[in-house]
Amino acid sequence: RTSCDVLFYFAGLGCGTLAVLEQNEAGIALLRSFDWNDGLFDVTWSENNEHVLITSSGDGSLQIWDTAKTRGPLQVYKEHTQEAYSVDWSQTRGEQLVVSGSWDQTAKLWDPAVGKSLCTFKGHEGVIYSTIWSPHIPGCFASVSGDQTLRVWDVKAPGVKLVIPAHQTEILSCDWCKYDENLLVTGAVDCSLKGWDLRNIRQPVFILLGHTYAIRRVKFSPFHATLLASCSYDFTVRFWDFSKRNPLLETVEHHTEFTCGLDLSLHNRGQV
C-alpha cells in the first residue's frame, strides 16, 4: 500500500472496472485498470501484499487481482448465489482471513490461499450490505442487513454471537471504532447514524442526525477516537464528532449524484 493510496471501483451496465490509482507529488494517475463482466460493489486491499486486492461482484463472485500484473484476475471464488455486496480483509496480524457478505443472506469466510470458503455464516433474514472485521479482536466481524439488525460473529464459534435490532429500517453500513473494541456505528435508510456499545445494547450510545436520505457508508477515523465520516444518497459527505454537543462538524456538498462510498486515509490525517 506504499504507492497506491487511492482505489476506486465502478459498477456499469453489465460490467465493472477496477481502477487502481497512484498518488504522487504531481497528483493522481491511473496505474492499472481491470475489467470484470459484472458490476463491482466492494474492494479490499491485502494486509500482507501491497499489490494484491480482492473485489466482490454482482455475479456473486470474489476476484483476486495483482496490480503488478497487466491481466487478471489471479483467482475467482464463486460460491454466493446472489450479489456479493461486501468484502473485507482482516487487519489482525497472524491471520489471513477475508469475509464477504451477500444478498443471498450469508457471510462467508475465506483464506485467499485456499480455493474454497472455510465457513458460511447464516442467520440474517435479509440481504447483507456490509461485513467488517474488528480491528481489535481476532476472528471477530460485524455485519448489517436489510433485516434491520447488526450482528457480531466469532469465526471460532458456530452461530451468531450477538444480534442488535439497531434500526427500524434497512441498515446499509457499519464500522468498528479504532480505539474502543466494544464500539460500532451503523448507518441506515432512516438517515441516522447510531453508536452501539457491545456491553450494553439496549440503547445506542449516540444518535447522529442530519442526512436527508439513506446513509450508504460510514467510517471511523483512524486518528481520532470520536471522529467519523458518512456519505449518503443526499449527495453529501458529513464529518461528525460524537463527543460534542453539536456533533456535525462539516457537510461537504461537492458531489452531484448519490455518494456511495468513502474511506479515510491511514497515512494522511486530512485525506478522505
Task: Give yes or no for a contact between 219 and 238, defined as CB atoms under 8 angstroms apart.
Answer: no
Confidence band, pLDDT 50/70/90 cuts, at residue 133 = very high
How much of the chain exceeds pLDDT 90, in percent? 82
Task: Give yes or no for a contact between 110 and 95, defined as CB atoms under 8 angstroms apart.
Answer: no
Helix or strand holding residue 208 (H, E): strand 206-209
Per residue in 187-203, pLDDT tens? 999 999 999 999 999 99
Confidence band, pLDDT 50/70/90 cuts, at residue 47 = confident
Residues 6+ apart with CB under 8 A from 144: 128, 129, 130, 150, 151, 166, 171, 172, 173, 174, 186
Distance in angstroms (rounded) separating the CA atoms of residues 33 and 19 = 4
pLDDT (average), residues 109-126 = 94
Q: What are the grid coordinates assigned to 30, written together?
A: 491511473
The runs of H, that is alpha helices, within the chain are: none
Q: Is pLDDT at 14 greater than 80 in this prediction?
A: no
Q: What are the grid coordinates assigned to 235, written together?
A: 449527495
Distance in angstroms (rounded) separating the CA atoms of residues 218 and 230 = 4
pLDDT (average), residues 41-63 = 94
Q: Is pLDDT at 262 greater than 80 in this prediction?
A: yes
DSSP 263: -
Confidence band, pLDDT 50/70/90 cuts, at residue 8 = very low
pLDDT (average), residues 147-160 = 92
Domain boundary assignment for the chain:
2-165
Distance in angstroms (rounded) separating the CA atoms of residues 120 and 99 = 10
Per residue in 228-243, pLDDT tens? 999 999 999 999 999 9
Confidence band, pLDDT 50/70/90 cuts, at residue 10 = very low
Reported residue count of the chain is 272
Distance in angstroms (rounded) separating the CA atoms of residues 169 and 167 = 5
Give the pLDDT of residue 13. Answer: 52
What is the model's pTM? 0.92
Residues 6+ apart with CB under 8 A from 59: 37, 38, 78, 83, 84
Give the pLDDT of residue 15. Answer: 87
Q: Is pLDDT at 56 greater than 90 in this prediction?
A: yes
Residues 6+ apart with CB under 8 A from 218: 173, 174, 175, 185, 186, 187, 193, 228, 229, 230
Strands (E), 51-139: 52-57, 61-66, 75-78, 84-89, 98-102, 106-110, 119-122, 128-133
CATH 2.130.10.10: does it fit domain 2-165?
yes
Give the pLDDT of residue 6. Answer: 40
Parallel, antiparallel, or unpaired for β 52-57 and 84-89? unpaired
Helix or strand holding residue 72 (H, E): none
Distance in angstroms (rounded) separating the CA atoms of residues 246 and 243 = 9
